[in-house]
Amino acid sequence: MVILIDKGIIGCKLTGMKKRLLIIFICLLSIYIIAQKDLPEILVEAQFYTQLENDYIRCDLCPNLCILKDNQRGICRVRQNIKGKLYSLVYNKVIAINVDPIEKKPLYHFFPGSRVLSIATAGCNLNCIFCQNWTISQATPEEAQTYYLPPASIIEMAKENNCESIAFTYTEPTVFYEYMYDIASLAKKEGIKTVWVTCGYINEEPLKKLCSVIDAANIDLKGFSENFYAEYTSGSLDPVLTTLKIVNREGIHFEITNLIIPGANDDIDMIGSMCDWIINNLGTEHPLHFSRFYPNYKLSNRIPTPIAMLDKAAQTAAEKGIKYVYIGNVENKNEDTYCPNCQKLIVDRQGFKIIENNIIDNHCGFCGYEIIGHF
């Protein structure tokens, strides 16, 4: 918030009345600022939980299924049992907000070249030891500065910044489910698209409800073994696979990201098995992004993913039959879209910038082949 005070008021000699008015103004401003600091403490009752005996509750939002005693928070750090009811501690509390190109999510088949308002709150329901946003994903609501932005304010900011969509991203949006759902519901009424950028660690009931209001998703398939998920994320692979199948059945546009970490999930046989699973369960059409790892958080001792490894993964996916394969976190590398039918370049990208788009009404502008996504 920026408050402008007329320089004339400061520079002129104040009369008794003006002095009193200025004192009243400063007092009201102080009260407002104090109130703003208190606003983030307003709590919203969470959805998807079961009340147990002795004021215990079980959070049913994600596969962690945290059982919480009074005053205890879940693994996510942002959902708390207060006297036998579960509350979200981050509703209206934005920790990060920015206008991004949609390609940064990454979404390459969802209104290429458009602007997206990206928002996040604190918290995550996984504990990935390689997280690039760990300072906010692994934080409590009290550990960082937040901005009080009700859903209607997010919609207005999207309009003011000419954003065609709003992305729930940076941390794990599932943990601010109620806030995300209310924003997405309001956005749908206003003709603004919404995007869920997620680890996919969510239970079936809340996922199906969310699918009724969101338009697109990028889902992290972080690896393809239970051992990897247990060691590197403190989670499990199977719920993420279930999420992918449900989102596919619900007809939501989605793309998949696989961050390749040297010495962790870079076994080419594992990557091949992942591609086989995608084809057998989701089909060949959904874009797959192989993303380059850079040392971060608790994996600062690892090397960045070798380019040759990324090339090998992309080649494996293409040979298996996945039609749209991209490489991320590497400039000017496998970032263009080619028609699977005529092999001609249909979207020419340079970084996050669209140089040329030859897709017309979701069809190749050269041969008429239907291209999955929204263009």
Model confidence at 5, pLDDT cuts 50, 70, 90, reads very low
> What is the C-alpha to C-alpha distance for residues 51 and 277, in angstroms, rounded to an integer?
37
Cβ pair 110, 272 in contact under 8 A: no
Distance CA 294, CA 181 (A): 32
Please give the Cα distance from 310 to 115 (Å, whole number): 28
pLDDT surpassing 70 at residue 177: yes
Summary mean pLDDT of the chain:
91
Closest CA to 18 of 31, 5, 33, 30: 5
Contact 81, 71 (CB under 8 A): yes
- Any alpha helices (H) in the chain, and if so which ranges? 7-11, 16-38, 134-137, 151-160, 177-189, 204-211, 226-232, 238-250, 268-282, 307-320
Phi, psi of 310 (to 5 degrees): -65, -40
The fraction of the chain above a pLDDT of 70, given in percent, is 89
Query: Higher confidence at residue 322 or residue 31?
Result: 322
pLDDT, mean of residues 74-87? 98
CATH of domain 93-335: 3.20.20.70
Which comes out higher in pLDDT, residue 7 or 68? 68
Give the pLDDT band of residue 331 (cuts 50, 70, 90). confident
Average pLDDT rounded to a whole number, residues 87-113: 97
pLDDT at 9 over 70: no
Question: Given a cut of 60, is residue 118 above it in pLDDT?
Answer: yes
Q: How many CA atoms lie within 13 A of 123 on its CB side?
A: 26
- The confidence score (pLDDT) of residue 7 equals 31
Q: Which of 261-265, 337-341, 349-353 has the least mean pLDDT?
A: 349-353
Q: Collapsing DSSP states into helix, strand and coil, what is residue 253?
A: strand
Distance CA 60, CA 265 (A): 29
Tell me how far apart the alpha carbons of residues 144 and 11 are, in angstroms, rounded to a whole number.
37
Distance of CA 71 to the CA centre of its chain: 28
pTM for the model: 0.89
Greatest CA span in the chain, whole angstroms? Answer: 82
Task: Output 333-339 pairs: Cβ under 8 A, ≥24 positions apart.
Answer: 333/307, 334/310, 335/108, 337/108, 337/109, 337/371, 339/364, 339/366, 339/367, 339/369, 339/371
- pLDDT score of 27: 54
Residues 29-76: tens digit of each pLDDT:
444 444 444 444 679 999 999 999 999 999 999 999 999 999 999 999
Inform me whether the pLDDT recorded for 12 exceeds 70. no
pLDDT at 194 over 70: yes
Looking at residue 333, what is its pLDDT? 81
So what's the pLDDT on residue 3?
28
Select from 213, 144, 219 the least CA-distant residue to 182.
Answer: 213
Rounded to whole angstroms, the Cα distance separating 159 from 164 reads 8
In the block, residue with structure tokens 């590398």: 333
11 — pLDDT class (breaks 50, 70, 90): very low
| pLDDT on residue 42 | 75
Helix (H) or strand (E) holding 67: strand 67-68
Give the pLDDT band (50/70/90) at residue 247.
very high
Paired with 246 in beta bridges are none
- Confidence band, pLDDT 50/70/90 cuts, at residue 6: very low
Alpha carbon 222 to its chain centroid, in Å, reads: 14
Q: Is the pLDDT of residue 304 over 70?
A: yes
